[in-house]
Amino acid sequence: MMTALVGGQALSAGELAREAGITASTASSHLAKLTDDGLLVRVKVSRSVYYALASEDVAALLETLMGLATRTGHLRTRPGPKDPALRRARVCYDHLAGELAVTMLDRLLTRGVIEDRDGALSLGPDTGFLRAFGVDPDALPRGRRPVCRACLDWSERRNHLAGSLGAAVLTRIYERGWARRSPGTRLVTFSAPGLAAFEAWLARPIGSGPPAADLL
């Protein structure tokens, strides 16, 4: 049930029961326990009650556990044509995950937009690269949630970018029309021009200071 919530959406007890293939009463019992333990939160909308992950920390933990299950052969798989697409690009809570997300973090580290200090990510000196893209680092919310955070990708088994910066970058990708999220799923689909623009953005020479005008 919890893996169904990794995409950041809230689902009802009935929806989660169907996702897990269990009865409604069994689902309710598990959901109550998970909520009491602080892993889930109840979201009440009018007379309906939905459940969501309590925080990005929980999503990161689930991604790590899914990666472990993949390595040990205990991850329940659902074969189908969307599986390769999910490995390429998907939502993890509110940020981009998958092959493209791992590549993005690698490039941001290489050009100094983000720095890695013993596994702890922080903003680097090249923040102009983000500003030209349309993300203002100074405007990112500060609080309990870090600006930059490494999140272990379950399919790539390497880190992708989480935190408020990861969320802002994915939002900007949507705003530019490069990609869209498939309703009701974690799948993020890039259009052909959008993928070309995304790859061109990441491939710009270090120190080039990419202008936003020549991106889609």
Query: Which residues lie below 8 Å from residue 211, measured CB to CB, with a gap of 6+?
Result: 132
Work out the pLDDT band at 135, boundaries 50, 70, 90.
very high
Q: Is 131 exposed, middle or buried (0-12, 13-18, 19+ CB in 10 A)?
A: middle
Task: Indicate if 136 and 78 belong to the same structural domain.
Answer: yes
Task: Indicate if 39 and 140 belong to the same structural domain.
Answer: no
Express each pLDDT in 175-207 by its tens digit. 999 999 988 888 999 999 999 999 999 987 655
Please give the residue range of the domain that contains residue 92: 58-214
Express each pLDDT in 36-83 by its tens digit. 888 898 888 778 888 888 887 888 777 767 666 655 555 554 433 348
- 171 versus 87: the higher-pLDDT residue is 171
Task: Indicate if 15 and 83 belong to the same structural domain.
Answer: no
- Give this prediction's pTM: 0.70
Work out the pLDDT band at 213, boundaries 50, 70, 90.
very low
Task: Indicate if 80 and 153 belong to the same structural domain.
Answer: yes
* Strands across the sheet containing 40-45: 11-12, 48-53, 40-45
Tokens of 25: 């009463």
Structure confidence at residue 129 (pLDDT): 92
Residue whose tokens read 């790859």: 199
CATH number at residue 49: 1.10.10.10
Task: Indicate if 103 and 154 belong to the same structural domain.
Answer: yes
Q: Residue 48 CB: number of other CB atoms within 10 A?
A: 10
String of DSSP letters for 167-192: HHHHHHHHHTTSEEEPTTSSBEEE-H
Structure confidence at residue 164 (pLDDT): 94
Task: Indicate if 109 and 66 belong to the same structural domain.
Answer: yes
Task: Indicate if 64 and 142 belong to the same structural domain.
Answer: yes
Task: Indicate if 96 and 187 belong to the same structural domain.
Answer: yes
Express each pLDDT in 85-130 by its tens digit. 888 999 998 999 999 999 999 999 999 999 999 888 999 988 899 9
Tokens of 20: 């897990």
Q: How far apart are CA 215 and CA 210, in angstroms?
A: 9
Task: Indicate if 191 and 122 belong to the same structural domain.
Answer: yes
Task: Indicate if 100 and 188 belong to the same structural domain.
Answer: yes
- 115 versus 141: the higher-pLDDT residue is 115
Tally the domains of the chain.
2
Structure confidence at residue 74 (pLDDT): 53
Structure confidence at residue 62 (pLDDT): 79
Task: Indicate if 93 and 158 belong to the same structural domain.
Answer: yes
Q: Point out the domain boundary residue: 35, 54, 73.
A: 54
The one-character DSSP state at 205 is P
Strands of the chain (E only): list them: 11-12, 40-45, 48-53, 90-92, 95-97, 114-117, 120-123, 149-152, 159-162, 179-181, 188-190
Task: Indicate if 79 and 109 belong to the same structural domain.
Answer: yes
Mean pLDDT of the region 142-165: 87
Work out the pLDDT band at 20, boundaries 50, 70, 90.
confident
Mean pLDDT of the region 125-141: 91
Tokens of 113: 């937009």
